[in-house]
Amino acid sequence: MGLISIARFITHHPLNRGHKLRALARFARYQLAKRIMSAELIVPFVGKSRLILSPNSPASTGNFYVGLHELPDMSFVIHALRPDDFFVDVGANIGSFTTLASVVSGARCLSFEPTPITYARLTDNIRLNGVVDRVEACRQGVGDKTGTLRFIVDQGPTNHILPEGESYDGAVEEVPVVTLDDVVGDRSPTVIKIDVEGFESFVINGAQALLGRLETVALILEFVGRNEGYGAESSDLHERMVSFGFKAYHYRPFERSLVGVDTAEPGLSGNVIYLKNPDFFVQRVKEAEPFTVLHHTI
């Protein structure tokens, strides 16, 4: 993403509404600081949480520029979780969602990140926030069966499993892969976030027992248009979720409302929240304590 695109993203983000110049100044200060200082910076996040700011990590710089890089879904995690709830983060990256769940909401977390550099950043953020006892970090991929898969590891936030039969000239590493059914066992997550760059269908296929028995669970799934590379269609993933009894929603954090997604749409994009029991989460988000980020209370 070029500087102009980043500036547009910053100035159009809802959390910078009314404070565009201040937001651009924050962006400019960081651009200057990273050229002067070789060390990574530690910056405030939400509440008492902090993040390590890494120049090559859009997941950390995005949150610094706009408060919450994925505003609806991050707000939903904070509003939906309570202390000692169980949060599962598949494709945790540097741990933005894990940090919000464990520090701001006080939930217990199981977080998966298979690539070595990103996993190291995840564990650094866990230690920085003092939640080692609340977060189990696993350097593993998640799929439909136990084994190993080849993983592209030099594309930063878009690292992903190399589709079978494809070659890649960059850095590839073989990583261990587990299933959610095997690892989660009889535990009952309240929220599961799955962001695996198009491999979501396989993660879901490895969680059939888990999803079949849970009634009050929210799944945040990313639809990125890369599913086809793994022989799956986004519409198939949606229909799979429907077969488990889930319905699709988007979250409006300022109104604290869950809005049903029209399943007649030609295709889903971005993040979608799937719920079996929407009434449970409607009540949860309505009763949640507000949190403050940048200039807004949500």
The model's confidence at residue 224, banded by pLDDT at 50, 70 and 90, is low
Residue 23, pLDDT score: 87
The CATH number of domain 68-297 is 3.30.2320.80? no
The model's confidence at residue 282, banded by pLDDT at 50, 70 and 90, is very high
Residue 180, pLDDT score: 98
Segment 146-152 mean pLDDT: 86
Q: Is the pLDDT of residue 241 over 80?
A: yes
CB 249 within 8 Å of CB 261:
yes
Which position has the token pair 């169980």? Answer: 86
Quote the pTM value. 0.91
Segment 139-151 mean pLDDT: 91
Nearest to 189 by CA among 204, 206, 205, 211: 211
**What residue ranges in the chain does DSSP mark as E strands?**
41-44, 50-53, 86-90, 108-112, 135-138, 141-142, 147-152, 172-178, 191-194, 218-223, 247-252, 257-260, 270-275, 292-293, 296-297
CB 4 within 8 Å of CB 61:
no
Nearest to 86 by CA among 107, 72, 56: 107
Percent of all residues in the chain with a pLDDT value above 90, rounded to a whole number:
61
Least confident of 34-38, 62-66, 131-135: 34-38
Query: Largest Cα–Cα distance in the chain?
Result: 54
For 2-54, write each residue's pLDDT tens digit. Answer: 677 888 889 989 999 888 888 888 888 888 877 776 667 899 999 999 999 87
Residue 180 CB-density burial (10 A; 0-12 exposed, 13-18 middle, 19+ buried): buried
Residue 225, pLDDT score: 53
Instruction: For residues 288 and 105, give the distance between their C-alpha atoms in angstroms, rounded to a whole number.
Output: 10
| Eight-class DSSP state of 143 | -
Q: Is the pLDDT of residue 266 over 60?
A: no
Instruction: For residues 141 and 150, give the distance between their C-alpha atoms in angstroms, rounded to a whole number.
Output: 10
